[in-house]
Amino acid sequence: MSSHNLKYDFNAIEKKWQQRWQDDKIFQVEVDRKQPKFYLLEMFPYPSGRIHMGHVRNYSIGDVIARHKRMKGFNVMHPIGWDAFGLPAENAAIKNNSHPARWTYENIDYMKSQLRKMGFSYDWKREMATCDPEYYRWEQLFFVQLYKKGLVYQKVTTVNWCESCGTVLANEQVIDGCCWRCDQQIIPREMNGWFFKITDYAEELLNQCDSLVGWPDKVLTMQRNWIGKSVGAEVDFPIKGGDETLKIFTTRPDTIFGATFMSIAPEHPQVLKLAGVSGREKEVSEFVERTRLARQQQNSEDEPEKEGVFTGGYAINPYTGDELPIYAANFVLMEYGTGAVMAVPAHDQRDFEFARKYNIPVKVVIQPKGEELDSAGMTEAHEGPGILVNSADFNGMNSQEAKKAITEHGNAGGFAQSRTTYRLRDWGISRQRYWGAPIPMIHCPECGVQPVNEEDLPVRLPTDVSFAESGKSPLCDLESFYKTTCPKCGGEAHRETDTMDTFVESSWYYARYCCPGDTREALQKEAVDYWLPVDQYIGGVEHAILHLLYARFFAKILRDLGYLTIDEPFTNLLTQGMVIKDGTKMSKSKGNVVDPDDLVRQYGADTVRLFSLFAAPPERDLEWSDKGVEGAHRFLNRIYRFVMENREILLETRGKAAGSLAGADRDLHRKTHQSIRKVSRDFESLHFNTAISAIMELMNSLSAAAGESSKTNIASTVMKEAVEAIIQLLSPMAPHFCEELWEIIGHKSQLSRSQWPVFDQEAAREDEITLVVQVNGKLRSRMTVALGENEETLKKMALADQNVGKFIADKDIRKIIVVKNKLINIVV
RNA sequence: GCCUGGAUGGUGGAACUGGUAGACACCUGGGACUUAAAAUCCCAUGGGCCUUGCGCCCGUGCGAGUUCGAUUCUCGCUCCAGGCACCA
């Protein structure tokens, strides 16, 4: 066979090395205080059935980092597991008349085999699935402990209900008014449910965003916005004709003298009472009912017109004594602040629109610089800063000072105080579905709600269940499950049948990986103290708020329960872009899905890994290209052919490329060391695409220098050095392939255990450079000169240049700028 | 509306702290090898101009500015993607 047709046998090679790595257990790690640790984690997969290209990309990026860090001498923990609870399993079970556990574990088996075929360097001994009672028992323990600390509570409230999933969702799980999973419109519903008190940690979650310097700004911004802190004041407005007061929250106490009415949420408990006193029940309750219905049907896209109804009641502005009519208004939210606001139409756009609609007076109290606002002629509110007017003692102050002064004044008078609110709500974790971790609580008719005794955990999810078409959780009707005894009085009691949001499992799995097999403790102190925090975390940006916020919250509560000593779980975060095809996200309905199995069969795992790293930088979307994959495969074959053609020389050659090299030898030697430098730097900044192109350049230089035939034109030591550099530098991306070549050229020990190459400063140095000559900033000529050539000589050479001469011929030379080793610019 | 990013050849993408725009690859065209094809290798490949040169002009979304010099910095726009959105 002609050597041009020579191709590497990726099937055999990949199988061989996967087996060898497994036998030698080289990716299994233990706590070792003598070695620096590196904890690399990718977001674990949901076992949906098959690996998709997004996984391939995510895990390829992670594996490159893991393998590189290992070669750099770190004790690298790189675990994998399964986010195994969730609705698709249950839906599939209903459809196929099967069981979610069976569906889940079958999927895990298959996907595991797919991951193994990709050659990822996982410590498989740490594999775990969150649906395993040995996993969720600890979660139930945390739940009980948090309950005892008051960080878990139950309340009846308006929740987000997804009809198609048959369950409640947390606020974070509602995207544009629709379910994050199935995209159906959610509807508000009154329900009882369990909540984690994440709002207790709002301030810390916000503050520590500043410490997350290894996170993308985009994600931090999203988290900060989600938490939504606002600083302001709470003010009590007495209600006319009674002892009651109406409490409002405002961020603009400086505008309080401009309040001309009050607006309160339709659901506000005082609405109907006020209407009752004034005899306006009919109008008001009609309005409340109408708004409620409108909200249920409301399409999240369009904002309904501002509407309200006068309740008949008046509130008294404690600063002015003014009587302000109280309106129930459709744009006031019960869930935020106190559910009631003072309305200052001159300085709030919503209040302005409302006031114009209902002919309520507008009173200017803030004058912006260089303008004269006139309440009658205003067409929109002035929300910016300015100087106070019509505000009694506070006139003349700027709005910033006035906020403080007015709050203090109210504080002294006993009717106002500083207050900070957050947009973040408590995390509702009750799910009305079966396939999740049971909430370890018991409802006793005598003693009320009681936690399950810690020694009785886990509360196992029963397996002897049958599913209804409706999707209603079988736990509700399973007597053997819900019928229990009260842990306090021993009487007959009812077990909680809701399960936990599956985001709870993924909120702490990174910690459990440190000691996955421990049956006595949730988190082994020695292990978590050594391994945590995760040094590099990688996953899709779609979890910027959801999972990443919950995981941060769990780090803090586990710290406060005494399990962890870290504040933040992930030191560095990489959010990789999507894999797209033909400009859109891959999806079955669009028919543009690329199946990793097919690709691995056709080209081998190394090629697939290589292409997915080469085609785009990690954080950007990656446009899949079948032709591009072929290009990556060709590249590997070129290396293979080169090594095979020069095998004898490579095997025989001993000793280092060094000493006085000249000509092509010197050039290739230099290129090799420059490539090591470039690739090493690119690895530190996670620019794998440019690292690969640098290796391609080195390969191009090598084949050009070696010449067409194998009768090499270059020193064998220099050639071998270049070949070894290529193999080592490429090995994190194409590990099986490189291991094989490493062995072929005579190495006895595994490449995976070798040391990352170090570049030689001296070898990488250029002795000649191309100096650019510009005239007025335009490129006119190039000169090849010795590195560090004297400036005067360079100027003379530049001026003597023929082409340059054409442009400076009859002009005065004003200035000559010399940038060392780069360029000369002649200004005429 | 607000907050993030982004816009570079036919395509994916390079360009370190302002200093040769288009690295590396894909596509395409041409050539070598071959009876032929595949594979492989070589050459060309941003647009335009002519006087065909080691040439000139234009060119990094648009318009200004700073600078000897701007893909890079500043200001003002346009478009695209993502996030938030009656949050008082």
pLDDT band at A148 (very low <50, low <70, confident <90, very high): very high
* DSSP state letter for A252: -
CB-strand contact A310/B, under 7 Å: no
- Token pair recorded at residue A453: 């005794």
Bases of chain B below 7 A from a protein C-beta are 3-5, 11-15, 19-21, 23-27, 38-42, 54-57, 68-70, 82-84, 86-88
Which residue's CA shows the smallest distance to C1' of B6?
A620
- What average pLDDT score do residues A188-208 get? 93
Average of per-residue pLDDT values in chain A: 91
B15 C1' – A258 CA distance, angstroms? 57
Asked if A350 and A331 count as a contact pair (C-beta separation under 8 A), the reply is yes
pLDDT tens by residue, A601-616: 999 999 999 999 999 9
How many other C-beta atoms are found inside a 10 Å radius of the C-beta of residue A797? 17
Separation CA A546–CA A215 (nearest Å): 15
- Token pair recorded at residue A468: 């209804």
Sort strands A387-388 and A366-367 into parallel, antiparallel or unpaired.
antiparallel
Predicted pLDDT at A298: 63
What residue type is assigned to position A300 of the chain? Answer: S
* DSSP state letter for A660: S
pLDDT tens by residue, A512-550: 999 999 999 999 999 999 999 999 999 988 888 889 999
Q: What are phi and psi of A622, to 5 degrees?
A: -115, 120
Separation CA A340–CA A362 (nearest Å): 19
B28 C1' – A627 CA distance, angstroms? 13
pLDDT at A712 over 70: no
- What average pLDDT score do residues A309-338 get? 93
To which H or E segment does residue A576 belong?
strand A570-576
Q: Which nucleotide is nearest to A696 (CA to C1')?
A: B24
pLDDT band at A3 (very low <50, low <70, confident <90, very high): low
B79 C1' – A22 CA distance, angstroms? 52
Separation CA A11–CA A3 (nearest Å): 20
First-to-last C-alpha distance (Å) of chain A: 64
Sign of CA dihedral A320, A323, A328, A330: negative
pLDDT at A769 over 80: yes
* Cα–Cα nearest to A125, from A93, A165, A170, A78: A78
pLDDT band at A299 (very low <50, low <70, confident <90, very high): low
Q: How would DSSP label each residue in A1-60?
A: --GGG----HHHHHHHHHHHHHHHTTT-----TTS-EEEEEEPPPP--SS--HHHHHHHH
B67 C1' – A817 CA distance, angstroms? 13
* Cα–Cα nearest to A688, from A615, A766, A601: A615
* Cα–Cα nearest to A441, from A487, A479, A475: A487
Q: Which nucleotide is nearest to A700 (CA to C1')?
A: B24
- What average pLDDT score do residues A197-217 get? 93
Predicted pLDDT at A802: 80
Which residue's CA shows the smallest distance to C1' of B2?
A225
Sort strands A823-827 and A768-775 into parallel, antiparallel or unpaired.
parallel
Predicted pLDDT at A125: 97
B20 C1' – A618 CA distance, angstroms? 29
Separation CA A580–CA A156 (nearest Å): 43
Q: Which nucleotide is nearest to A682 (CA to C1')?
A: B16
Predicted pLDDT at A1: 42
pLDDT at A242 over 90: no
Query: Domains of chain A: which residue ranges?
Result: 146-197+438-500, 229-422, 596-764, 768-827
Predicted pLDDT at A709: 47
pLDDT tens by residue, A71-116: 999 999 999 999 999 999 998 888 888 899 999 999 999 999 999 9
Q: State which residues between 253 and 292 of chain A bring their CB within 7 Å of strand B.
A: 265
- What average pLDDT score do residues A195-218 get? 93
- Token pair recorded at residue A510: 């990174």
The torsion defined by the Cα of A461, A466, A468 and A473, in degrees rounded to 10, comes to -10
Sort strands A152-162 and A187-196 into parallel, antiparallel or unpaired.
antiparallel
Q: How would DSSP label each residue in A367-388?
A: EPTT----TTT-SS---S--EE
Q: What percentage of chain A reaches a pLDDT higher than 90?
A: 68
The CATH number of the structural domain formed by A768-827 is 3.10.20.590
Which residue's CA shows the smallest distance to C1' of B41?
A708
B77 C1' – A414 CA distance, angstroms? 51
Long-range contacts of A73-76 (CB under 8 A, 24+ apart): A73/A35, A73/A36, A73/A755, A74/A35, A74/A36, A74/A37, A74/A38, A75/A29, A75/A32, A75/A35, A75/A36, A75/A37, A75/A38, A76/A29, A76/A37, A76/A38, A76/A39, A76/A40
- Partners of A371 in the β-ladder: none
Q: Token pair 């309200």 is at which residue? A: A308
pLDDT band at A445 (very low <50, low <70, confident <90, very high): very high
Contacts of A756 (CB under 8 A, 6+ apart): A68, A71, A72, A680, A728
B47 C1' – A584 CA distance, angstroms? 30
- What average pLDDT score do residues A569-588 get? 88
CB-strand contact A177/B, under 7 Å: no
pLDDT band at A175 (very low <50, low <70, confident <90, very high): confident
Longest Cα–Cα distance in chain A: 108
pLDDT band at A2 (very low <50, low <70, confident <90, very high): low
CATH assignment of A596-764, among 1.10.730.10, 3.40.50.460, 3.20.20.70, 3.40.50.2000: 1.10.730.10
CB-strand contact A590/B, under 7 Å: no
* DSSP state letter for A643: H
pLDDT tens by residue, A633-669: 999 999 999 999 999 989 988 877 776 777 888 899 9
B77 C1' – A373 CA distance, angstroms? 29
CB-strand contact A821/B, under 7 Å: no
B74 C1' – A16 CA distance, angstroms? 58
Asked if A188 and A177 count as a contact pair (C-beta separation under 8 A), the reply is no
- CATH 3.90.740.10 holds for A229-422: yes
What residue type is assigned to position A387 of the chain? Answer: I
CB-strand contact A822/B, under 7 Å: yes
| Higher-scoring residue by pLDDT: A282, A126 | A126
pLDDT tens by residue, A482-522: 999 999 999 999 999 999 999 999 999 999 999 999 999 99
Separation CA A754–CA A518 (nearest Å): 32
Separation CA A725–CA A698 (nearest Å): 9
CB-strand contact A654/B, under 7 Å: no
- Token pair recorded at residue A126: 């740490």
